[in-house]
Structure 1
Amino acid sequence: MATKQSVDLKAADKLLKQFAKVVNSDHAVRKIKKDEVLSCGVDLGTSSIVLTVLDKDDNIIYGAFEYAKAVRDGIVVNYVDSVNILKRLKHKAEDVLGVELTTACGAIPPGTGEGAAKIVANVIESAELECKHVVDEPTAAARFLNLKTGTVVDIGGGTTGISVFNHGKLTQVLDEATGGFHMTLVLAGNHKIKSDDAELLKRDPQKEPEVFPVIRPVVEKMATIVKDSVGPSVKQPVVVVGGAINFKEFIPAFSKVLGIPAYKTAFPQFITPLGIAMYDHD
């Protein structure tokens, strides 16, 4: 439902469910004209790389992703793999759409600096796309959500990014190195298993009753980061996004520590990639 703070979560859910159906399929939402202008977003995440395609009116056209270990704590650590994966995603999208993709935007966690932005841009350019912009991830998420006043918490594989907005103005941006990767490490240590096995265990929805009690302290730390970093200046609503929050108990546990309600949408891992693409026609 839409919150009283005017973020239409129901509308966001509808779009995200549409994207989830089309991502990695062999079909676009509709047929593309040869001269049509498309917008692309590239999200180089810790656990996956996502390519999103929108039309000039920000309607969803197509998407694709591939699991990857090319990024750590928001920084590209395997340049070659990142480029090769993005090339595969680009070519797959072009085969489905029947047109060439020429431009794209990327994103980085807040506060990671110009160097990180340059590397992301270089990955995009090396995949034969012109990089139009590199934005910070929570701001991209806010654009998709059409959030004017509120706080976006983007929990990725390696970081917790926070962006606070007031009447359309970005007032605070910060980032801390705690994310889904840290959940995996805690889970691996608790079960005395390899990190890769812990990651698979974490992704299995049927294992949540076993997994979440173990990773709850990491979730509580994420909420504490937001509470301590933003404090009284936090703006409501607080919307949490990112693939690391796909647990039924995440939002209740997060909200309890934060002290105010937090919200999430369906398929929160796709919010930031879709928001990134919206910058491609600016």
Structure 2
Amino acid sequence: MNSHADDILARAVSVFNKAPARQGYKGRVHVGVDLGTAYTVLVVLDEDGQPLAGRYQFAQIVRDGLVVDFIGAMQILSRMKAEVEADLGFALESAATSYPPGVAPAEVKATQNVVIGAGLECEHFVDEPTAANALLQIKDGAVVDVGGGTTGVAIFKDGEVVYTADEATGGTQFTLVLSGALGVSFEEAENIKKDPKRARSLYPLVRPVMQKVGSIVAHHIAPYDVKTIHLVGGTSGMPGMADIVAEMTGIPTKLPSHPMFVTPIGIAMHDREDKTATPPQK
């Protein structure tokens, strides 16, 4: 991954879920909304494509790329929008959003309607791996988005998408395995999964699910001459994931330092309205 993307991801971590350091910003902004199976993320980029502010929250409002709690999704996003606007001191007017490859147009429309319902214009949407590549800038290779519910694969050739696919295996499956193996609730298993101190002891339990992800990737990239795989998405950050995918595919596999934010930032880069920040209406 290029150093520019590394710098942007580091900047995102420093401002998301925090009051922004650049209060009083008056330039143009680009906004992205990622309604994930596990996390909902709102990203605001400045006119230079640098993270200005953002929010992320665990929320089970989407399942396998489909919005299953429209009202809950709209309420969460509305609250995030209001918090970011209060921090920045101006209103957010438009946003881009995303969808897993291969979902029905009606489901893409449902995601768009959540964004509109939260008070944002939404004319631009993009599939998740393509959004991720807006930040990664991969010319040739595969971008694999391992999210909360699905694993999305996109093959790039000369910077253009030549193939996309999506299968229903992701973070939810890891949590279900841990819930059953440890005899705890789904919610408790989710918290255990995210505890870095327990990663080593949990690895033998979740390794088979990692291998399933690896087999999905191997199947979809087999017809193509892929030299490098780039993992993104929150679940891809689980310790051992990149090694398992490399083992299952026989292809070098790279992982950014903060994979959960790659796709949301890329989504914001597709918000082409380029509107100037405006003060909220009194």
TM-score w.r.t. length of structure 1:
0.93
Query: Alignment length, in residue pairs?
Result: 273
**Is residue 228–residue 251 contact of structure 2 (8 Å, CA) maintained in 1?**
no
Moved more, 261-270 or 60-69: 60-69
Change (3 A) 1:238 1:29: farther
Deviations 1:1-52 (A, max 9, x none): xxxxxx41x332222111011001012446311xx32110000011111000
**Counterpart in the other structure of 1:169:** 160
Give the Cα separation in 2 of the matches to 1:230 and 1:29: 42
**Counterpart in the other structure of 2:91:** 100
Give the Cα separation in 2 of the matches to 1:237 and 1:11: 19
Answering whether residue 31 of structure 2 is matched by residue 31 of structure 1, we say: no
**Is residue 28–residue 97 contact of structure 1 (8 Å, CA) maintained in 2?**
no
Which of structures 1 and 2 has the larger relative contact order (alpha carbons within 8 angstroms, sep 6+)? Answer: 2
Equivalent residue in structure 1 for 2:54, among 63, 72, 78: 63
**1:194 partner amino acid:** S
**1:222 partner amino acid:** V
**1:19 partner amino acid:** A
**Counterpart in the other structure of 1:77:** 68
Deviations 1:179-235 (A, max 9, x none): 010011111111121111111110101000121211111111111111112204052
Give the Cα separation in 2 of the matches to 1:59 and 1:192: 43
**Counterpart in the other structure of 1:21:** 14
**Counterpart in the other structure of 1:11:** 4
RMSD: 1.3
Tell me how far 1:66 sits from its aligned partner. 1.6
* Structure 2: runs of 5+ lacking an equivalent: 274-282
Give the Cα separation in 1 of the matches to 2:147 and 2:5: 19
**Is residue 23–residue 87 contact of structure 2 (8 Å, CA) maintained in 1?**
no
Identity of aligned residues (%): 39
**Counterpart in the other structure of 1:213:** 204
Give the Cα separation in 2 of the matches to 1:66 and 1:248: 21
Give the Cα separation in 1 of the matches to 2:23 and 2:43: 15
Tell me how far 1:246 sits from its aligned partner. 2.0
Answering whether residue 94 of structure 2 is matched by residue 121 of structure 1, we say: no
Give the Cα separation in 2 of the matches to 1:258 and 1:24: 36
**Is residue 97–residue 122 contact of structure 2 (8 Å, CA) maintained in 1?**
yes
Give the Cα separation in 1 of the matches to 2:224 and 2:233: 23
**Is residue 22–residue 52 contact of structure 2 (8 Å, CA) maintained in 1?**
yes
- Match of 1:233, SS state, is coil
**Is residue 193–residue 199 contact of structure 2 (8 Å, CA) maintained in 1?**
yes
* Structure 1: runs of 5+ lacking an equivalent: 1-6
